[in-house]
Structure 1
Amino acid sequence: MNASAAVLLVHSLLTTQTAAPPLSTAAPWAPAARRLTVGLQAPRFAAQPLEVRISPGVGTLLLFDTPVARAELENEQRFTRVRLAGDTLTLMPSASVEDSEALRLTVHFADGAAPASATFRLVPHPTLADRQVEIHRHARSADSLHAELLEKEGEVRRLREELVRMEAARSLPDGLTGMLAIRHLDKNGVRARWNDEHLLRHPRNTLKVRTATTYRAAARVAVAVECEELRGGAPWEARGATLVPREGAALRVLRVWQEAPTAAGIPGQFIVEAEATDTMSPGPYTLTVWAEGDKRSVILGNVMFP
């Protein structure tokens, strides 16, 4: 080999070595940081504690997004280091954890919001420790929880009243006798009013409304709506309704009844029943009825009761 060829060969080798990408210093099996979420749950729906893997001689770092006041660790003597600093908890298991069962860790948060604490299950593993765990907490203030509690209490009260009413109705006879027994019918009977003359139909109604007849008894009112055409392909089934007067509070709707979903080309009917009071206005009201998902509504204005 002559001198010039040797120089070219050495240059080629050096160039190839320089162009090679540097080796990564991170081990390819090194696990990424885990992310866990804790939140408030009702006792009957409480899930099992979240699991965190630990290994002998391998540190595990728990990073919280909320300051921690204190931590309670089961069999703390099995750890060579347990250090809490604000929102960071460092755990260093000793060799004795390898032969132990899962250990319980409970942390108590410092801000007074709910949940006040979170519990974790530390699961020993020979090598696959979670080196870093980021823990996000869905916090709820006391005012928020109190407001939700009042709302739930109101809902439970309403359901209990409805259950009492249904149980009482089940023991009553059908027909006019039953209506008289629960005072839904008085000496004035059931009065009816045909609303077609001044009824306002929303231009984008899902159904083409033919007539709407209103009824009033001692403690109930109802609107019976006759439809003759469905605009759109899918069948329409009433799922909810509101009856709102021009002034004052909306009537409490008790039920929305429909014999079968209204399909294209087939006439249909639905009935909305609501509570009546001695002071309720005869109208006008706006009736809004919607299908599943609060969509494909039917809106009628100037609804008048007898």
Structure 2
Amino acid sequence: MSSSSLFVLLGLLLVGSSAAAQLEVSSSVPGARRIELSPEEAGRVNEVVVSPGLSTMLLFDSELQRESIELESRQRFSLVDVGQATLRLVPSVSATPGERFKLVVRFRDGAAPSSAVFLLKVHPAKAEATIEVYRAQRTIETYQQEVRDARAETFRCQEELARLKSEHKAPGGLTGILFNGGLDPLGVAGQVLTKAVTITSANGLRSPIVNSYRSSTLVAVDAWIDVKTGTLPWTAEGATLKGRSGEALKILRVWQVTPILPGSPGGRVIVEAEAPAAAVHGPFSLKLWEADGPRSITLGNVTFP
């Protein structure tokens, strides 16, 4: 992100905090997204990201008409649990990334808005765990929380801007890595994982060569990906790197030069993540997926030197 883009983002955050028409605001549950329904926008469709095998919980501030829930292709969900004011959804493994399902809920009190419409978008891994849906008047506490969230985001952007400025001043190459503390006297350690990893792929992806690397503050997985003949080219759009207990390392970049062509010798994908030495405990599971497409590949039993 360029320095000018960060300044624009800071301005939008400060201006947006006072916009009366803003419908998605801070939530009372940490990590949850909050949606506010407006009578003036009764037909508004709210997008929610779901993933096969992962739970998404919608929490409402009003009682639902449990018998009137409409869910498109309901059989594609392994769990649809409707409570008095909650709705829990778990798509089954038959739900394909990129698919969308319409969800309509109706409220028992009949007040406006009397219903809410959601579009459930299937993603390979990034399901939204909790969504809070409000129809009632916002309290002063929610505004105060929104201001706190905006300040925290502004502070984060300021830190990112300072980091980018520092990087521009630092030298490149190995000198730059040393300058930024990326190496210790032992250098970078690497190991071959080709025979150790387990592979779970979808729609003709495989990884015949896998290596891993670690420096003092970073880890990287270097994988060679093959695409089956007769399918479309494949480009890695995102990645997660999770430990056995579910903790995730912060992904810094997913690097790939060009799309990998079907039937070709394959292509190289490198995933880099933040990982202080104390946090590098294995094994990890690396999942790669394409943008708005069904094909993903998971490499299990990934360890670092």
TM-score of the superposed pair, with normalisation by structure 1: 0.52
Whole-Å Cα distance in 2 between the matches of residues 235 and 152 of structure 1? 40
Whole-Å Cα distance in 2 between the matches of residues 44 and 235 of structure 1? 45
Whole-Å Cα distance in 2 between the matches of residues 273 and 247 of structure 1? 20
- TM alignment of 1:40-189, pairs within 5 A: 42=16, 141-142=138-139, 151-189=149-187
Q: Does 1:224 align with 2:231?
A: no
Distance 1:157 1:263, change over 3 A: farther
Whole-Å Cα distance in 1 between the matches of residues 152 and 230 of structure 2? 38
Q: Cα offset for 1:227?
A: 1.4
Distance 1:146 1:240, change over 3 A: farther
Q: Cα offset for 1:278?
A: 2.8
Cα deviations by residue, 1:187-241 (Å, 9 ceiling, x for unpaired) = 0100001111121100426521111111100111111110122466332222211
Q: Cα offset for 1:173?
A: 1.1
Q: Cα offset for 1:181?
A: 0.5
Structure showing greater Rg: 1
Q: Cα offset for 1:140?
A: 5.6
Give RMSD over aligned pairs. 3.3
Partner of 1:273: 272
CA contact (8 A) 1:255 1:274 kept: yes
Q: Secondary structure, in 3 states, of the residue corresponding to 1:279? A: helix
Partner of 1:296: 295
Identity of aligned residues (%): 36
Q: What is the number of residues matched between the two proteins?
A: 183
Q: Does 1:247 align with 2:245?
A: yes
TM-score of the superposed pair, with normalisation by structure 2: 0.52
Partner of 2:211: 213
CA contact (8 A) 1:206 1:297 kept: no
Unpaired segments ≥5 residues, structure 1: 1-40, 48-63, 67-134
Distance 1:239 1:156, change over 3 A: farther
| Counterpart amino acid of residue 305 in structure 1 | F
Whole-Å Cα distance in 2 between the matches of residues 243 and 199 of structure 1? 14
CA contact (8 A) 1:205 1:298 kept: no
Unpaired segments ≥5 residues, structure 2: 1-14, 22-37, 41-111, 114-133
Whole-Å Cα distance in 1 between the matches of residues 155 and 232 of structure 2? 37
Q: Secondary structure, in 3 states, of the residue corresponding to 1:170? A: helix
Distance 1:188 1:249, change over 3 A: same
Q: Secondary structure, in 3 states, of the residue corresponding to 1:178? A: helix
